[in-house]
Structure 1
């Protein structure tokens, strides 16, 4: 196992891709820790992400997210799961350059099923299918830009997706 050279893998993708679940499985299989930046934000602020969006607004949330993501990408040598919108920030994309980034690509039907129509996802609150499509139109090029590898999660359970991530990793990264 490498020591102190940055994350062994960074997972990016839209809501419902399975970043948190798959990240935990990959971390366990590699024997490393997991940093989920949405969980880090919730711990730092003391409120759920959805509540932060409603009470403070997206701009404030994104500023906190930038700081949390920077800390995770520069100070964690395990698995990092980024929030779905983190790649929108150019500085974050710069930090991802050269890292082993995996884009978990998920079909709309799977994402909607996984997220659920009543889940507390602030950017998907009204008309989740349409909102998810719009998010993906903006974000897909950025996910693809930062990713070293794309793993299609369609038709795979979390264990199968985690195995696909592990299979896609370059041995020198692990």
Structure 2
């Protein structure tokens, strides 16, 4: 959350001349609902089911840059689908994540104390992200263009 996944994916797609797909946007398009509304109205488990299906479809159908939602790799079946394909973990520290996300408006996992929730999510998810990633790129204090340039070098 706040690492710049969607922004960096767009820059990479543009640089490489390939399509970009974002699984959160896929979910919103297929359901006609915003992610925050799905969480509130149907619960996180339902959202994670939709997300797992969206990731599976995107991996099967899409040739280009794919941006996954921050919780997508929490599902073992998603981690299995990602095995053998290049996966870049955009690592963001607590301070930068809080600055980028702000008060978490529209981010249902951040209800309450934003800083504490982001810290808990980073602590919980970072080991999973690192286990899936073929490359780790730090984003703290960097512009999206700088992050995209590093990824271009890594994936040459």
Cα deviations by residue, 1:80-106 (Å, 9 ceiling, x for unpaired): 000000010000000011110000001
Separation of aligned partners in 2, 1:34 and 1:49: 19
Structure 1 residue 62 displacement after superposition:
0.6
Would you identify which runs of 4 or more consecutive aligned residues in structure 1 move more than 2 Å?
Answer: none
Contact 2:23–2:68 under 8 Å retained in 1: yes
Contact 2:94–2:122 under 8 Å retained in 1: no
Map 1:1-174; keep pairs closer than 5 Å.
15-169=1-155, 171=156
Higher relative contact order (CA 8 A, sep 6+): 1
Give the gaps of 5 or more residues in structure 1. 1-14
| TM-score, length basis structure 2 | 0.97
SS at match of 2:142: coil
Structure 1 residue 108 displacement after superposition:
1.1
Give the gaps of 5 or more residues in structure 2. none
User: Number of aligned pairs?
Assistant: 156
Structure 1 residue 118 displacement after superposition:
4.1
Structure 1 residue 119 displacement after superposition:
2.2
Structure 1 residue 42 displacement after superposition:
0.5
Cα deviations by residue, 1:103-157 (Å, 9 ceiling, x for unpaired): 0001111111111114211101211111111111111111001100000001111
Contact 2:88–2:133 under 8 Å retained in 1: yes
